Amino acid sequence: GLALGRISAALMTERHRQLQSDLEAARRAQELLSPARRGRLGSVAYQFESIPGRVVAGDLFDIFALDPARTAFFLGDVSGKGVGAAMLMAACQSQLRTHLLSGVELSDAMARVSADLFARTAASKFVTVIAGVIDSAEGRVRVVDAGHGHFLVMSGGGSASRVEAPGGFPLGVVERTDYEAAEIPMCEGGGIVVFSDGAVEQPDDEGRQFGMEGVMKSVMDVGAPNEAVDALIREVTRHASGAFADDLTAASIWIQRTE
């Protein structure tokens, strides 16, 4: 009995060590896929932050130039946690990026990725995504909301507002679906703030969620897209007063003012 107990304990220890090793490897791979925390792509600048609720986050964010005038971005929240969520995140990120860079229109790119995820993953696996293409020359952003809903539009004057984007189902939920894009004006100094549900749903010590009202207040108190992410992370952290209950990813993308 004693020998079996020792063997069982040793096996449990080894399994735990292997799991931690796998999670750490997935975390490093995730960091390699992520863009720099701050950057500029032509006249578009951005900042983002991602804080995992566990070792590996199920959130994704990417941003890249399509041409000198257009910049694509997307932020998503993968169902589940751990290594499986990280792998699904990487697949979704890679496919969306590939389609958009090869010239596929935003709505069609989302539909193609959704169909592929549906064919390859279990019914319980899906990804909510907010994706957009900013055209700095035209002063607008085309947005597709695949069941995500968490984004704000900031004006050049510092106000923030919620905009309803028609969008569609989360990616991977149904076999075939169409996605409708919303076209939103975006002037110099204005931008878009996108975030995962980890910001909205973060509870305090008494279980009260930070809420969309908290997000709006955090962003509007600073009144500038280039300060929005830091302000949001700071206020959610203060509200949480401890470890985050879920992954928290937030990004702000804006058109730089002409000097």
Q: Per-residue pLDDT tens for 167-215?
A: 899 999 998 999 999 999 998 899 999 998 889 988 898 889 999 999 9
**What's the confidence (pLDDT) of residue 163?**
83
What percent of the chain clears pLDDT 90, i.e. is strictly above it? 53
**What is the average pLDDT score of the chain?**
87
Residue 245 reports pLDDT greater than 80: no
Residue 84 reports pLDDT greater than 80: no
Q: How many CA atoms lie within 13 A of 146 on its CB side?
A: 32
C-alpha–C-alpha distance, residues 188 and 44, integer Å: 9
Angle at alpha carbon of residue 191, lines to 240 and 241, rounded to 5°: 5
Residue 139 reports pLDDT greater than 90: yes
C-alpha–C-alpha distance, residues 159 and 162, integer Å: 11
Structural domains in the chain plus CATH codes: 35-255 (3.60.40.10)
**What's the confidence (pLDDT) of residue 46?**
97
